[in-house]
Chain A
């Protein structure tokens, strides 16, 4: 479902003397449907960079990133948009929404863009919000005012509202209490069970052990730092 070959990435800082900073080289991995791959490595080793390369908001220098048959490293913007719409889900650590939009609509939006009827989209959003223990009185409010844990759960609801065949999860259980952590782990297991290919970053070792079929240490993809 997801197959990365010979991927490298560098940043060129034009405004700082055009310094070229290589951050990743020769990365390769693949994830099959129903499989969960955990990315490990120290902070700054490139886990998030790899996620962003797959999501398409970082430009690859070389290599290919095949997701559901689309090479994100080469695809036209509209192909990536379509990929994100129906195939590739992403739960980031941060919730980025238009202020003022009610939580339930934030969660339902991915379905609306896929053309699901408003009533059904809202119903599925409400179901997930309830499952994630977001009190019903908050559904009509904007999540921008919520606590970190609540925002994280809204973000997860948004990421799970559509059954994406491929998913990227960046610390999905961070800042959650035990009850909600369990709910999220169950959601991820259910996604695996229906055949989703998942790449995740889990600092929560117990979660990683429970969910991940394999782990990849991204440190091996770090370019050799010249001395």
Chain B
């Protein structure tokens, strides 16, 4: 038998290692003592109801919010570094290169006064691209990959549908080939039919680019289709984590059982 078809888990370092991350708003818990490792190519879903702390956690991970304690160690080109204590300049550079952040509302992640091409090109220019023709070429390539017609490149996103805006935001984020993408309810404000298209697109991109992703959502159907692993949060605590279909099909914690049982159909 051909042994190459046995895929062994290589001994590898986690891309992101989160250790004891906590954030409090006064006495109120944002998220408390969250720890997990994310390995290259893995997609982690974080689910929970509103106020469960999943958005706080994501903001702390992405450096938008300073945690009160804990480490967020990212495997940078120079080796593992704790991004919590890294300088803002360096963290922003990370945010333009190895990291990407897809907002729920595309208006938060796009420059609405700038053309689609300019939106996609911004990250390239931010990391030093200075050839207009090349920048435009890459923008066109990415518009194609997210299924936006080439003749829309000079249009502003204000005239785009919600789904198109979200796809443009994804193109804008992925153009510099990040290794880790944070997504906050990426399909949140979209029609169901548009959601499916976006999910398919995200799956394809994650696979082709070998992306690691952390997706915050309250939609269990979304994580079922996108996430390899799942983390369930309640009241700022992680109550359960594991393989996505295991957590959904055989939930161990009372809250997860309630959550899964409350969904009409996943």
Question: Which residues in A have some Cβ–Cβ distance to B below 8 Å?
Answer: 11-15, 18, 33, 52, 56-59, 68, 77-83, 85-87, 96, 98-101, 112-114, 162-165, 194-195
The answer to whether A52 and B228 have CB atoms under 8 Å apart is no
CB distance from B110 to the nearest CB of A (A): 24
Chain A proximity of B194: nearest CB distance (Å): 10
**Residue pair A112, B245 in contact (C-beta under 8 Å):** no
Enumerate the 9 nearest inter-chain pairs by beta-carbon distance, A residue then B residue, closest first. A86-B7, A14-B254, A99-B196, A57-B245, A77-B243, A57-B249, A58-B250, A100-B196, A77-B229
Report the count of interface residues on B (CB-CB < 8 A).
33
Q: Considering only CB atoms, which chain B residue lies closest to A14 in the complex?
A: B254
Residues in B whose Cβ lies below 8 Å from that of A57: 243, 245-246, 248-250
B interface secondary structure, majority: helix
Option from B5, B228, B253 in Cβ contact (under 8 Å) with A86? B5
With a cutoff of 8 Å between Cβ atoms, the chain A residues found around residue B42 in the complex are: 78, 81
The residue that B254 contacts in the complex, of A11, A15, A79, A112, with Cβ under 8 A, is: A15
Quick check: A98 and B257 within 8 Å, CB to CB?
no
> Would you call B252 an interface residue if the criterion is a C-beta within 8 Å of the partner chain's C-beta atoms?
yes
Closest to A18 in B: B254
Q: In the complex, what residues of B have CB within 8 A of residue A87's CB?
A: 5-7
A82/B9 in contact, CB under 8 A: yes
By a CB distance below 8 angstroms, the chain A residues around B246 are 56-59, 77
Task: Find out whether the CB atom of B228 lies under 8 angstroms from the CB atom of A81.
Answer: yes
CB distance from A74 to the nearest CB of B (A): 12
Q: What residues make up the interface of B, taking CB atoms closer than 8 Å to A?
A: 1-2, 5-9, 39, 42, 193, 196-197, 199-200, 203, 207, 224-225, 228-229, 242-243, 245-246, 248-250, 252-254, 257-258, 261
Does B5 lie within 8 Å of A162, measured CB to CB? Answer: yes
Roughly how many angstroms separate A163 CA and B251 CA in the complex, as a whole number?
A: 31
Q: Which residue of B lies closest to A101 (CB)?
A: B200
Whether A33 pairs with B196 at a CB distance below 8 angstroms is no
B7 contacts across to A, CB distance below 8 A: 82-83, 85-87, 114
**Chain B residues whose CB sits within 8 angstroms of the CB of A58 once the complex forms:** 246, 249-250
**A52 to B246, alpha carbons, bound, how many Å?**
9
Please, could you name 9 A-B residue pairs with CB atoms under 8 Å apart, sorted by A?
A56-B246, A77-B228, A81-B229, A82-B7, A85-B7, A87-B7, A100-B196, A112-B207, A163-B5
A136→B253 CA distance, assembly (Å): 46
Q: Which B residues are in CB contact (< 8 Å) with A165?
A: 1, 5-6
B residues less than 8 Å from A163 (CB atoms): 2, 5
Quote the shortest CB–CB distance from A93 to chain B (angstroms): 14
**Is the CB–CB distance between A78 and B228 below 8 Å?**
yes
A78 to B6 Cα, complex, angstroms? 15
Query: In the complex the two chains form, is A98's CB within 8 Å of B200's CB?
Result: yes
Give the CA-CA distance A86 to B7 in the complex, in Å. 5
| Docked complex Cα distance between A13 and B203 (Å) | 33
